[in-house]
Chains A and B, each alone.
Chain A
Amino acid sequence: MALLEVSGLGVDVAGLTLLDGISLRLDRGGSLGVVGESGCGKSLTALSIMGLLPPGLRPRGSVRLDGADLLDADDHALCAVRGRRVAMVFQEPMTALNPVKTIGAQVAEGPRRHLGLSRRAAREHARAVLHRVGLDPSRVSPDQYPHELSGGQCQRVVIAIAVACGPALLIADEPTTALDVSTQARILDLILDLVADEGMALLMISHDMAVIAETVTDMAVMYAGHVVEAGTCRRVLGDPRHPYTRGLMDAMPRGSGRPGEPLAAIPGTVPPPGAWPAGCAFRDRCPRADAACAIRPPLVADADGHAVACHRPFGAGERS
């Protein structure tokens, strides 16, 4: 049985569809990346899994963790899962932390609640976890407050909070977007170390294909609330079939052309929910679109599990 099985997940608000037909699978100890531009629904997917959708947003489909559906679960059951079985690392370390509590107290909160530790034991545990994420107590005390720390150190605290109870699944939602490259590299190193040491499964959400390439083995590309391509990173990035995946890779400065020459930009912008064209949501921006694209293409996998939702995909090995 898969650790996490998302099938047919959709999210609606006031008659508007934000997310539709999302299916993802993650095995124990496995790693999966979700990549896409802002507004494609990747964070909503994560929030749906965590049962943290904002009021008014209604999920459909199913999110199964160890076989139990989280979408049906009541608050009490969800509280037993969140932080204990599934934990999340958020994007903005400065806003994810409580500014008026010490970092040690914030890390100790989960273990107190979920592991039933005494105040003293939880404090000791927090100290050890902070040390584990690279915050040496001799340099950064658990009694310090978030504002006394740099962005990278704050992100380490956020990671410490997430792993404090030894979750089976770690969801990292753009964990390094607010950080510069060197700090990003160290935080990614840390996440990969922790995942390997603790045998956690990793769901990495990022807008950066290269971050996905470096951190996970499987990936899904999202566009306008749908998965448009999925498979192993090796296949999806090595031989992208969907014109959107291809377009994203060609638009990266390292992906195409010589310095000073125009980059292959994708024309237009990501349409907001409600303005998605009927049929394939990418067809307005797609160089290969034709009449067939007025009908939404299903996500179809080949024998190797490389799935693409497109009527006019690039052939295997075809150059753009």
Chain B
Amino acid sequence: MTDSRPVLEARGVSRAYPLPRPHPLAPRPVRHAVADISLTLARGESLGIVGESGCGKSTLARLLTALEPPDAGTVLIAGRDPNALDKAALRRLRRSVQMVFQDPMGSLDPRWPVWRIVAEPLVGLAPEVARADRRARVVEALAAVGLGEETLTRYPHQFSGGQRQRIAIARALVTDPDIVVADEPVSALDVSVQAQVLNLFLELRRRRGLALLFISHDLDVVRHVTERIMVMDRGRVVEAGPTAEVLARPAHPHTAALLAAVPRLDAAWTGRERRAAPGAVTEHSPSRHR
């Protein structure tokens, strides 16, 4: 029987952060990092979230993975509100949604061997898994990302960037999640290695039926790995729909401006036009970005 309920859902979630006061007596300004966003992710589906840095993509990821509670609205993971659960129930729920971060060096503890890094979610979220079974689960997760048992006792610095990102993906897979939220997972990688890691995401989706929330500023990458897309600007969704359609015929000027900004190989023979659409997207000082 297939389950038609979404594995991940957000209903009108918002999150604002206080900014420093401009002077001691002024009211505290806030930045609406995420403003009233709703989305659903079905089992096995892939959704890309794109936008400029500071548009709220990563904050949205933190809300969806229950790393932070929203100020308003509800997040539902497998139909349950993580922010309304007790600790034990939340731990069980967290097994079904795992994250992969951008910087594979910064997200892996340099003093831990690979087996300990990959086993950590099991230790924290699935304490009932016996020690003896942990090793088998870790080996299986590493195998799923193409790493052999010989890597178990090695340390992060002994791996290349692409291999480190594989380790981070293995860590996300070890609890056998339904959803993986990947925040810029390939932007720190070289092109040839980026292709390997993107292929791994495609393969894992196909083999394991993973739902994938893929956050990236790279529209070409998102076009390749996702079925649906959401374009964000300053905390809001400005356009959403099937990825191929939205990127082929953008309806919102912000999407069009993002697309126009992507550098293109064929500029080598067609010549370059000015890419930046003045006015469509403005460059903010951090202090002016409200």
Contact = CB atoms under 8 A, between A and B. Distances in A.
A37 interface: yes
B265 A254 contact: yes
Interface of B: 52-53, 160-163, 190-196, 198-199, 202-203, 217-221, 223-225, 243-244, 257-258, 260-269, 272, 274-276, 281, 283-287, 289
Contact of B225 (A148, A181, A233, A260): A260
Given A150-B283, A237-B268, A180 B199 contact: no
Contacts of B163: 269
A153 interface: yes
Contact of A185 (B198, B203, B261): B261
Nearest to A257: B224
Nearest to A262: B199
A14 B223 CA distance: 45
Nearest to B199: A262
A254 B220 contact: yes
Given A188-B263, A254-B223, 17 more contacts: A37-B190, A38-B161, A149-B286, A153-B283, A180-B217, A185-B260, A192-B272, A208-B191, A213-B267, A214-B263, A254-B264, A259-B243, A259-B244, A262-B199, A266-B192, A266-B195, A269-B160
A210 interface: yes
A270 interface: yes
A59 to B, nearest CB: 25
A210 B263 contact: yes
23 contacts: A37-B192, A150-B285, A150-B289, A181-B52, A182-B281, A186-B283, A188-B275, A189-B275, A210-B264, A213-B264, A215-B272, A237-B268, A247-B192, A252-B195, A252-B220, A253-B223, A254-B223, A254-B264, A254-B265, A259-B225, A259-B243, A264-B195, A269-B192
B285 A251 contact: no
Contacts of A180: 52-53, 217
A210 B262 CA distance: 9
B118 to A, nearest CB: 20
B224 A259 contact: yes
A149 B287 CA distance: 8
Given A148-B287, A253-B198, A189 B274 contact: yes
Contact of B53 (A151, A211, A251, A265): A151
A172 to B, nearest CB: 14
A210 B265 contact: yes
Contacts of B269: 234, 237-238
Nearest to A211: B263
A99 B73 CA distance: 40
B268 A234 contact: yes
A152 interface: yes
Given A185-B276, A233-B268, A265 B196 contact: yes
The 8 closest A-B pairs by CB, nearest first: A185-B275, A265-B195, A266-B192, A185-B261, A210-B263, A251-B195, A233-B268, A37-B190
Contacts of B161: 38
Interface of A: 37-38, 139-140, 148-153, 179-186, 188-189, 192, 207-211, 213-215, 233-234, 236-238, 247-249, 251-255, 259-267, 269-270
Nearest to A33: B268
A139 B223 CA distance: 37
A26 B263 CA distance: 23
B51 to A, nearest CB: 8
Contacts of A253: 195, 198, 218, 220-221, 223-224
Contacts of A152: 283
Contact of A153 (B266, B281, B285): B285
A185 B263 contact: yes
Contacts of A255: 265
A299 B258 CA distance: 39
A248 to B, nearest CB: 5
Nearest to B159: A269
Contacts of A183: 52-53, 283
B84 to A, nearest CB: 35
A38 B190 contact: yes
B244 to A, nearest CB: 7
Contacts of B225: 259-260
A93 B285 CA distance: 14
Contacts of A207: 190-191
A233 B261 CA distance: 20
Contacts of B243: 259
Contacts of A261: 202
B202 A148 contact: no
B83 to A, nearest CB: 30
Contacts of B217: 180-181
